């Protein structure tokens, strides 16, 4: 996915987003859409294959729409289940565009992740743990996108919340720590050899106990990306740290849909960028659609198998976890379908409210 960004002004971003999904609910538009997808990945007889897979894609999208619509109207007590299955169904739609034989076998219908169904005494959701399994939808997505190394990995829910920009205000209030730092893209005339300039707060160096060179070294410690970073002769600008982003064929992060194209950078729904410098291992800097998958799985299992415990979390007067959970559920209902839409149409689509 290397096309530019499409910005769509609209009265209701959620409504407009789902209106674009309508293009995938009509056979006359879905068949040529799938044919192009299959041609691109070298499938034999793409037109014939698209003919057979089109109905499945249409019904995946239709069902996902209804799950999300129902979730929007539901009580928080059952909402995680509806959002989770909506998310799973959109993920299946995405998989079908990448592999026309999906699901090849029944093992691919599994969740692909697991968590302890019976929770321990004094359970806290923030410390709940999810593990990526070898088989299932999550695993298939991870392998398709080249993230094979996360199979078998475990994550706790607090570190997943830490990777979502839109909930960082609540995260800071609850944990008294900052994990994502906003990035400014100044309108500077940059030397082509220096790359694209960007600015973060200088205090990030104090928090991490790093020099500018050590910060750049940490950013460059990801060999799987073409991106490189550097700093100039004068890296400090009024309590700000000036760094440079380099790519062999792209001059600016807003000239293509991949943004910074680096695991330590995140993006919000408005197109703003954030740096997540605390994470050194890229298996902890998952793509955001995987983060949403893991969190929704854990929430849905808690909601489904432990109703009394789930009720205490969301209705109890002493539980602070509800704040972040409810905010995340609001964000994911808008953001996850947008992330899938970006993948399906192979461009970054920003819906901007007017």
**pLDDT of 301 strictly over 50:** yes
CA distance 290 to 84: 12
Neighbours of 50 (CB within 10 A): 23
1-15, 47-61, 151-165: range with lowest mean pLDDT = 1-15
119-123, 259-263, 299-303, 330-334: range with lowest mean pLDDT = 119-123
More confident residue, 63 or 218: 63
The SS3 assignment for 245 reads strand
Omega before residue 146 within 30° of 0, cis: no
CA distance 90 to 95: 9
- Please provide the average confidence, as pLDDT, over all residues in the chain: 91
Give the residue carrying structure tokens 């050899």. Answer: 193
Q: What is the DSSP letter of 253?
A: G
- DSSP E strands in the chain: the ranges are 5-10, 113-114, 129-132, 154-156, 181-182, 196-201, 228-230, 240-246, 265-267, 273-275, 348-353
The answer to whether the CB of 184 falls within 8 A of the CB of 198 is yes
**Which helix (DSSP H) or strand (DSSP E) does residue 114 occupy?**
strand 113-114
The answer to whether the CB of 94 falls within 8 A of the CB of 345 is no
93-107, 186-200, 289-303: range with lowest mean pLDDT = 186-200
Is the sign of the CA dihedral 81, 83, 84, 85 positive or negative? Answer: positive
pTM of the model: 0.93
Give the confidence band of 265 by pLDDT, cuts at 50, 70, 90: very high
pLDDT of residue 255: 83
- Over residues 269-295, the pLDDT tens digits come to 999 999 988 776 666 789 999 999 999
Where residue 161 falls (left for φ over 0; alpha for ψ -120 to 50; beta otherwise) is alpha
- Over residues 79-113, the pLDDT tens digits come to 999 999 999 999 999 999 999 999 988 888 899 99
115-124, 151-160, 201-210: range with lowest mean pLDDT = 115-124
Residue 132 main-chain phi, psi, to 5 deg: -80, 125
């Amino acid at each position: 996915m290397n096309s530019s960004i499409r910005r769509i002004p609209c009265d209701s971003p959620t409504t407009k987003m789902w209106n674009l999904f309508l293009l995938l609910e009509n056979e006359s538009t879905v068949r040529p859409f799938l044919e192009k997808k299959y041609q691109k990945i070298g499938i034999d007889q793409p037109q014939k294959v698209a003919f057979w897979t089109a109905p499945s894609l249409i019904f995946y999208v239709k069902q996902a729409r209804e799950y999300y619509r129902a979730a929007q109207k539901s009580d928080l007590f059952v909402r995680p289940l509806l959002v989770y299955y909506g998310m799973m169904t959109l993920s299946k739609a995405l998989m079908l565009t990448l592999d026309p034989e999906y699901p090849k076998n029944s093992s691919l219908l599994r969740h692909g992740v697991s968590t302890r169904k019976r929770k321990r005494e004094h359970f806290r959701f923030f410390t709940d743990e999810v593990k990526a399994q070898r088989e299932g939808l999550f695993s298939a997505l991870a392998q398709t996108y080249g993230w094979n190394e996360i199979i078998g990995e475990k994550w706790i829910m607090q570190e997943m919340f830490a990777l979502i920009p839109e909930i960082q205000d609540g995260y800071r209030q609850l944990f008294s720590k900052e994990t994502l730092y906003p990035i400014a893209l100044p309108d500077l005339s940059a030397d082509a050899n220096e790359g694209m300039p960007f600015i973060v707060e200088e205090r990030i160096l104090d928090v991490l106990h790093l020099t500018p060179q050590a910060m750049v070294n940490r950013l460059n410690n990801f060999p799987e990306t073409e991106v490189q970073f550097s700093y100039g002769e004068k890296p400090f600008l009024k309590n700000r740290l000036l760094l440079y982003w380099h790519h062999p064929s792209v001059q600016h992060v807003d000239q293509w849909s991949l943004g910074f194209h680096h695991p330590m950078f995140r993006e919000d729904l408005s197109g703003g960028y954030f740096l997540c410098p605390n994470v050194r291992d890229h298996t902890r800097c998952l793509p955001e659609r995987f983060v949403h998958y893991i969190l929704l799985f854990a929430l849905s299992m808690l909601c489904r198998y432990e109703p009394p415990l789930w009720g205490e979390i969301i209705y109890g007067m002493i539980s602070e976890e509800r704040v972040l959970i409810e905010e995340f559920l609001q964000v994911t209902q808008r953001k996850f379908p947008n992330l899938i839409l970006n993948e399906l149409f192979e461009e970054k689509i920003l819906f901007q409210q007017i």
